[in-house]
Structure 1
Amino acid sequence: MNIEGITLREAVADDLDAIALIYNSLWCNWIRKAGAWEDWALCGRFNAAMQLQRSPITLVAERNGAVVGACLVGVFENGAPVKNPRWQPVYEELLAKATERAETADEDLEGSLFGDSREKATADRFAATGDEYAQAQINLIVIKPEWQGAGLGRRLVEEARRRMGEEGRTKFFLMSDNRSNYHFYDHLGMARIAEDHSQDTGDNFIVYIYGGEA
C-alpha cells in the first residue's frame, strides 16, 4: 500500500465504529468466529471509547473517506491522566454495558472486555511515580491489517510526537506486551524502560513500557 493521499485529522463521533472495527480485527476476531456478534461489537466499541476518553489528542488516518488507522494520545497533569470530555459520555454508557455483560461472561470474554482497562491501571501507577517519561502516553495505535508495513504507523507516531510537543511534552511512553508486535517500537528508536509482571497469571504475560522523545 502507498500512503500517499492519507489524511490525518481529529477523531469525530462517527469514527467510533470504524476504530472499533480495526481494534476487533486485531484482537477480538475470536469472538466473531464464535458467532457472538453482540459481544464482538461491544468489545470493540467499549475499548475504543475507553481509549478515546483518555486521549486529548486523537488522530485518525483517512483515505478516500475510509478510516484506515488511528493513534490516540493521552497527557498527564500531576501524575493523573487528562480526560477528553467529548468522549466521556460515550465511554460511561459503554462501560455500564460492558460491566453488565462481564457479570455473566466467561474468563476469556471478560479478559477481552477489560484487559486494556487493567493495562491502563498499570500506566497510571507508572505515571504517578513522576518518571520523566510520564508526561504523555500513546494509548492506542491501530492500523488496518492490509495497511500494516506501509509506513502509516510511523507517520501516525511522528504526528503524535509533534502534537505532544505542541502540548509542551518532551517525553512520552507507551505500553506493549510480549504477545504483541513490540519490535515496532524498537524500530522507531524507542527504549524499553520498564516491565510489569502484575498481570502474569502463570502464563508468562509481561507488559513492556517503552519511552520516547516527543
Structure 2
Amino acid sequence: MTSQAVLRAMRAEDMPRIERIVRRTWSYDDQVSERTAELLGRIDTCNCLSRRTYMRVADIDGDVAGFIVVNDLRNPRRDMRLRAIQAVSMLRLLASRDGREGLTMFRRYMATDRRLDNDAREQGKHYDGEIVLFIVNDEYRGYGLGRLLFDDALRHFREIGVEDFFLYTDTDCDFGFYEHRGMSRRAARSVNITLGGRADSTEMYIYDDVVSRQLGN
C-alpha cells in the first residue's frame, strides 16, 4: 500500500464499487450467473445501506479499500430509495432458477438473523447500536484497515451515547476478528441453503460487546 487510508463519508459514485466488493466477498460469481450475482450483490448492499445512520469508507488513492455501516437503533433510519431498488432487484431474481435460489437464500439469512436476535433477547440482551456491514476489500487486507474502520465506528457510538452493540456474522466471514477483539458470541444457528444447484450449510452468529470495554474508559 503506497498511500495512507483516509476515512470519509460515502459518495454516490462509490455505490457500484461497493456492490462489486459485496458481490466478491460472498463469492456470488463462483456460484451463480453473472446477472444473478450482480442482483444479489445489489440486494445485500441496499439492504444494509438503507439502514445506515453512519458510514465510513476507507479511501486509498480514490479507491474503496473498505467500509463500515452502523445503525443507531434508538433512531433507526429507512432509506426508501434504496429499499425500492432492493425490491425491484428481488423481483428480477424470479426470472431464473439460480435467481429464485438466491432469493430463498436471502430470505433464510434474514429469518435466521431474527432468530438470533430473539435468542439474545431471551438472554436479557438489548442493544442500542448495530454494526450492519463491515468489509475490507480483499485487495487491501493486511494493512490494519479493519481495526481502523472498527474503532472509528465505536468512537462514533461513544459520541452519540451508544454503549451496547451487536453484529451478525457467519462462518463465511472473518469472525476471528471479533474473537480477537474479545467480543462475546451470544448465540449461534445453522441455516441450510441451495445456490447454483449446490446445497450448503452455514453457521450464523450474533456477537456483542460494550463500547467502553472496546475503547477503554
* Shorter-chain TM-score range: 0.7 to 0.9
1:96 Cα deviation from its structure 2 partner: 2.2
Distance in 2 of aligned mates of 1:76 and 1:142? 21
Please point out which of 45, 48, 53 is paired with 2:45: 48
Gap change, CA 1:115 and 1:167, over 3 Å in 2: farther
| 2:168 counterpart letter in structure 1 | M
Distance in 2 of aligned mates of 1:69 and 1:89? 23
Please point out which of 50, 56, 59 is paired with 1:59: 56
Residues 74-124 of structure 1, C-alpha deviation per residue, up to 9 Å, x if partnerless?
1213xxx81243xx2123123222134136433643356545544543465
Gap change, CA 1:84 and 1:15, over 3 Å in 2: farther
Distance in 1 of aligned mates of 2:90 and 2:40? 8
| 2:22 counterpart letter in structure 1 | Y
| 1:134 counterpart letter in structure 2 | Y
In structure 1, the residue corresponding to 2:174 is in which secondary structure? coil
In structure 1, the residue corresponding to 2:167 is in which secondary structure? strand
**Residue pair 1:134, 1:171 contacting (<8 A) in 2 also:** yes
Aligned to 2:185: 192
Aligned to 1:25: 24
| 2:42 counterpart letter in structure 1 | R
1:52 Cα deviation from its structure 2 partner: 0.4
Distance in 2 of aligned mates of 1:188 and 1:95? 36
| 1:48 counterpart letter in structure 2 | T
Gap change, CA 1:93 and 1:204, over 3 Å in 2: closer
Distance in 2 of aligned mates of 1:66 and 1:139? 21
1:6 Cα deviation from its structure 2 partner: 0.8
TM-score, normalised to structure 2, is 0.80
Gaps in structure 1 of 5+ consecutive residues: none
| 2:204 counterpart letter in structure 1 | V
Distance in 1 of aligned mates of 2:20 and 2:63? 12
Gap change, CA 1:69 and 1:135, over 3 Å in 2: same
1:62 Cα deviation from its structure 2 partner: 0.7
Distance in 1 of aligned mates of 2:142 and 2:167? 20
Aligned to 1:69: 66
Q: Does 1:91 align with 2:83?
A: yes
Q: Does 1:82 align with 2:81?
A: no
Aligned to 1:213: 210
The worse-fitting range, judged by mean Cα deviation, of 18-27 and 176-185 is 176-185
Aligned residues: 204
Gaps in structure 2 of 5+ consecutive residues: 194-198, 212-217
**Residue pair 1:72, 1:139 contacting (<8 A) in 2 also:** yes
Alignment of 1:29-40 (within 5 A): 29-31=29-31, 36-40=33-37
Distance in 1 of aligned mates of 2:130 and 2:52? 9
TM-score, normalised to structure 1, is 0.81
| 1:63 counterpart letter in structure 2 | I
